[in-house]
Amino acid sequence: MAISFNEQFDQHGTWRREFALRLKLLAEWLKDNELLDAAVEERLHRLEGQVRSDKVMVAFVAEFSRGKSEMINAIFFAGYGRRIMPAGAGRTTMCPTEMGYDADVPPCLRLLPIETRLQPQALMEWRMVPEKWTRIDLDVNNPQQLALALEKVAETLKVTQDQARALGFWHNQESDDNPMLDAQGMVEVPRWRHALINIAHPLLKQGLVILDTPGLNAIGAEPELTVSLIPQAQAVIFILGADTGVTKSDLAIWREHLITEAGETNTRLVVLNKIDTLWDALSTPEQIQAQIDRQKANTAEILGLAANQVIAVSAQKGLVAKVTDDADLLCQSCLPALEDALGRGMMGKRQQILGSAMALGVSDLRTEMGRVINIRKRDLTEQMMELKSLQGKNASVIKHMRSRISQEQTEFDLGGAKIHAVRSVHLKLLREVFGILGSTALKKEMAELTAALMQKGLKLGVKRAYGETFANLRASLERVQALSGEIQTMLAATFRQLNAEHGFSLQAPTEPQVLRYLDDLNAVQRSHLQYLGIGNAFKLAQPEFADRLVRALSTRLRGIRESALADIELWSKSAAAQLDAQLRERRRSFIRRIEAIDRIQQAAGGLEERISEIQQQDTSLNQLDVKLAELTAYLIAAKETARSVESAESAGP
């Protein structure tokens, strides 16, 4: 039997918690054995933080009244025994709503007033101003209070045409898409611009984030939804009516906000909801199924999807079936098929991506720690050879050896000037990288586009400025990749020289692939293109909308560049930490060698005693190496485990 999305997500959460615990145990063991320096500790903390805080976003996108909220109730909240999100007749989510969990915030619903659209701040900026949000505390143990509070997301306001126009809900040039006027000439608009729900639901606590986006008008008016939130979702569920199929407004959402070029459909699932409206006592089950299959085939053809990416369900019947524990009705609703597709497709891929990242990070650390252990082994071997060469020798020979070790130590310390010079060049190149990807440079690169977007009236030349801006942004990443290549070449040459001169085992860490962020950059560029076409010319002419667009774009680009900088910073620290570790071990080796000679000079039996100690230390180091391999084996195998899980899932039952 296929497991549900909830069960699959629960397994993913268990795997993440176990992985994080093993990372913590590895850090403690490294510390106990003096293998944990500041840089290694930071890398382990990053890995642990990444696996603990990994978020999985599922975005539900549809026109009004397609059953999004009911589907969210059926998949995620049936355990409450009732509807949690408003989904009754005439009650629907009116504003984009995010559900997640933050342990530092009490259970609550936060609502951003729609009037904030009249101000220039982007949504991301409003998140930093909690006092501007209306907050309602939630009792997660009281389903009735919870559902009643969440009805707030369905609230509306009556405003004049001018107010609706200023808020982005009325367009003189696109009258077909405007909302209806009431008898007094007023327009109904959402009361809230955005809603954040923080509750300790088991799935949300494990990192699931649910995004509910209502209607074409709401999506088009908030650039951040299509530029930032929806593109970052691991799965997008696009909901259509099973009775209507793909309508004109459905197709507009799909083409303008979900698919901007061929081949970008792998994270999209299309759901034909409300198949119960096709259940007809005058038709046989076979006839009903044939009708559903035709709608699925037509939908897949129109949207350019594979047949298995279109699923037909009845969310309402699925919710009723779960609440009443009706297995037959649940099977009829076909909801398990959607949960299975979510679980297999999204969670399998997510675990593979996360497992691969973790395995790579731990594997690099394992190699580094192995080098340190091997250095200690080699130093012990050298000490053993030195001490054995002293057996049967007189005091003058022992004194001469001590003098030679002291001279070696002095020469080694003098070599530090060369290492310092290398670090100076390294830091200079890094400063150049940070300058290219910093916020000041980004603002400068976006100046022409910002000016084009903020000019009054129709935005002439904005497409050209847009293309040139992204060309410059790509060139910046290419320049950073070239600089990191220079740093890598310099490090490799320096490490080879130090290995030859001092017997080190330094190896330059893998160069960061900054150019992989070109994919993110291209995705951002594509997600904005729909706003620059003729169809949106009048919307773009509104200064408020243009300002929101440029702010959303800046926020997203800043995030990409900060991620690239974080990769470079970690790579730089890894190289420095490796060098520091081997310098530290060599200095310790000199101290131990001199101490051994001093002990031999002071006591006749000191030589044999010291040889015995070194043999014991060598045995301990071998045990240390075995234990390191044991502690890291599971973590490194995570990549293959995740891959085998995905292979098993893709094979199906």
Based on the fold, state whether residues 489 and 570 are members of the same structural domain.
Answer: yes
Predicted pLDDT at 646: 45
Give me the domain span that covers residue 169.
Answer: 158-189
Of 296, 314, 333, which closes a domain?
333
Based on the fold, state whether residues 175 and 308 are members of the same structural domain.
Answer: no
Q: Note the pTM of the prediction, 2 decimals.
A: 0.69
pLDDT per position as a tens digit, 6-39: 777 777 788 888 888 888 899 999 989 888 877 7
Based on the fold, state whether residues 498 and 474 are members of the same structural domain.
Answer: yes
Residue 3 inside a domain? The answer is no
114 pLDDT band (50/70/90 cuts)? very high
Based on the fold, state whether residues 201 and 323 are members of the same structural domain.
Answer: yes
pLDDT per position as a tens digit, 467-493: 889 999 999 999 999 999 988 888 888
Residue 616 inside a domain? The answer is no
Of 583, 599, 621, which closes a domain?
583
Label each residue of 320-358 as H, E or C.
Answer: HHHHHCCHHHHHHHCHHHHHHHHHHHHHHHHHHHHHHHH
User: Coil, strand, or helix at residue 61?
Assistant: strand
Residue 343 inside a domain? The answer is no
Based on the fold, state whether residues 255 and 174 are members of the same structural domain.
Answer: no
Residue 537 inside a domain? The answer is yes
Based on the fold, state whether residues 460 and 317 are members of the same structural domain.
Answer: no
108-125 exposure pattern, b = at least 16 Cβ within 10 A, e = fewer: bbbbbbbebbeeebbbbe
Of 311, 333, 355, which closes a domain?
333
Distance CA 481, CA 513 (A): 7
Q: Which amino acid is at 312?
A: A
Residue 603: pLDDT over 70: no
**Contacts of 220 by beta carbon, 8 Å cutoff, 6+ apart:** 226, 256, 257, 536, 539
Residue 210: pLDDT over 80: yes
pLDDT per position as a tens digit, 330-366: 999 999 988 888 777 666 677 777 888 788 888 888 8
Residue 266: pLDDT over 60: yes
Based on the fold, state whether residues 184 and 258 are members of the same structural domain.
Answer: no
pLDDT per position as a tens digit, 493-529: 888 888 888 888 888 888 888 888 998 888 788 777 7
578 pLDDT band (50/70/90 cuts)? confident
Based on the fold, state whether residues 178 and 251 are members of the same structural domain.
Answer: no
**Contacts of 344 by beta carbon, 8 Å cutoff, 6+ apart:** 2, 8, 649, 650
- Structural domain count, the chain: 3
Residue 8 inside a domain? The answer is no
Based on the fold, state whether residues 66 and 137 are members of the same structural domain.
Answer: yes
Residue 651: pLDDT over 50: no
Predicted pLDDT at 295: 93
653 pLDDT band (50/70/90 cuts)? very low
- Contact status, residue 188 vs residue 64, Cβ threshold 8 Å: no
Predicted pLDDT at 649: 44
- 405 by Cβ neighbours in 10 Å (0-12 / 13-18 / 19+) ranks as middle
Residue 184 inside a domain? The answer is yes
pLDDT per position as a tens digit, 168-207: 787 666 556 677 788 888 988 889 999 999 998 877 887 8
Percentage of the residues of the chain whose pLDDT score is greater than 70: 88
Q: Where are the beta strands (DSSP E) in 80-216?
A: 97-100, 108-113, 134-137, 156-159, 187-190, 192-198, 208-214
Over range 96-121, report the average pLDDT: 90
Residue 495 inside a domain? The answer is yes
Based on the fold, state whether residues 178 and 261 are members of the same structural domain.
Answer: no
Distance CA 601, CA 12 (A): 61
User: What CATH number corresponds to the domain at position 324?
Assistant: 3.40.50.300
User: Coil, strand, or helix at residue 204?
Assistant: helix
Predicted pLDDT at 239: 94
Higher pLDDT, 156 or 542: 156
Based on the fold, state whether residues 182 and 123 are members of the same structural domain.
Answer: no
Query: 156 has which bridge partners?
Result: 190
Distance CA 463, CA 449 (A): 9
Based on the fold, state whether residues 91 and 175 are members of the same structural domain.
Answer: no
421 pLDDT band (50/70/90 cuts)? confident
Residue 150 inside a domain? The answer is yes
